[in-house]
Structure 1
Amino acid sequence: MIPTLPGITTVAQTITLALSPIFMLTAIGQLLNVLAGRLSRVVDRVRALEQEIHQRGDGDRSRLVWELRLLDRRITIINASLFLAVSSAVMTSLVVALLFVATLAHLHLATLVALLFIVAMLLLIASLAYFMMEVRVSLQAIHVRKDLLDLVSE
C-alpha cells in the first residue's frame, strides 16, 4: 500500500494553525531586540564608569561603585531575561515544526504540541517578569541623589 500524502487543504489548515505561534515568535523577536538594546546601553555605561572611577576622589568613587554594582545586577537580570526569551522562541519553533511533522506523518502529537506551547508561554512570561524587574532596578539609578537635593535646598 502506498502512503497518501496530505492534501493541500490539510497543509493549508496546518499553516493556519501555525500562524499564532509565528506571531508569538515575532513578538519574542521584538522583545529580544529591546533586551539587547538595553544590555548594550548598560555595557556602554559600565565601560564609561570603569574609566571614570580611577579619576575621581573617594567621595565620588563610592557613588560610582554603587552604580557599577547596580549595573552588574542589571546585566545579570537582562541576561536571564534574554535566556528565557530565546528558550521560549525555541519551544515555539518546535511547536510549529511539530504541527507540520504531525500533519505530514499522520502522527497524534496534540498533547506534546500543547505542552510545548504551554512551556513556551511560561518561559515568555518569566522573561517578561525579568524584564519588568530590570526596568525597576534601572529606575534606582535615575532618581536624583539626596545629597544633590540637599544642596538645592540650602
Structure 2
Amino acid sequence: MFPGSPTSVTTVAQIIQLAVAPVFLLAGIGAFLNVCAGRLSRIVDRSREIEPLLIASRGAEHDRWLGEIRVLDRRMALVSRAIFLSVLAAVLICAVVVLLFAAGLTNAHFGTAIALLFIASMIAIGLGFAVFLVETRVGSRAVRIRSELLAHEVEPD
C-alpha cells in the first residue's frame, strides 16, 4: 500500500483478524483488573473499620489491631502493584494492535517492535499475576485463626 492509495476491505478484514487475539487478551486483563479492584475495595473497607478500633484500643488489643492494619497496608500496596502491571500489559497490547493496523495499512515493517511489545506485555501480566499470588498468600495468612482462640475452653460454672 502506498500512503495515497485506497485500502481494500479485504486488507482491513485481514488486519482485524490479526488483531482479534490481542483484543481477547485485553478482555482477560480487564476481568483480572476487576478481581484486583474488588480485592482492593474490600481491603480498604476493612482498614476503615479497623482505624477507629486501633485509635480507641490500648495494650495487647492495640498491638493486634496495629498488626492487622500493617498487613492490610501491605496488601493494598501489593494489589496496587498488580493493578499497575496489568494496566501496563493492557497498554502494551493496545500498542500491539495499533502497530498491527499501522503495518497492515502502510506496509511498514513493525514485526520486531510488535514482537517486543507483546513480549513486554506478557512479562508485565505475568508479574502482575505473581504479585497477585503474593497478595493472596499474605491475605490468607492474615485471616488464620489465632491459636489462643483455637485452644480456648469455656470455664465451668
Task: Quickly say closer, same or farther: Cα 1:152–1:143, change in 2 above 3 A.
Answer: farther
> Quick check: 83-92 or 55-64, which moved more?
55-64
Q: TM-score, normalised by structure 1?
A: 0.94
Aligned to 1:88: 89
Aligned to 1:44: 45
Amino acid at match of 1:61: H
Task: Quickly say closer, same or farther: Cα 1:135–1:153, change in 2 above 3 A.
Answer: farther
Aligned to 2:30: 29
Runs of 4+ in 1 over 2 A off after TM superposition: 1-6, 54-57
Aligned to 1:144: 145
Amino acid at match of 1:96: V
1:61-140 paired onto structure 2 within 5 Å: 61-140=62-141
| Runs (5+) with no aligned partner, structure 1 | none
SS at match of 1:107: coil
> Does 1:14 find its partner at 2:15?
yes
Quote how far apart the aligned CAs of 1:142 are: 1.4
Q: TM-score, normalised by structure 2?
A: 0.92
How many angstroms apart in 2 are the aligned matches of 1:15 and 1:57?
A: 63
> Quick check: 74-83 or 5-14, which moved more?
5-14
The percentage of aligned residue pairs carrying the same residue is: 42
| Runs (5+) with no aligned partner, structure 2 | none
Equivalenced residues, count: 154
How many angstroms apart in 2 are the aligned matches of 1:10 and 1:152?
A: 75
How many angstroms apart in 2 are the aligned matches of 1:152 and 1:86?
A: 49
SS at match of 2:48: helix
Quote how far apart the aligned CAs of 1:99 are: 0.6
How many angstroms apart in 2 are the aligned matches of 1:10 and 1:49?
A: 58
SS at match of 1:53: helix
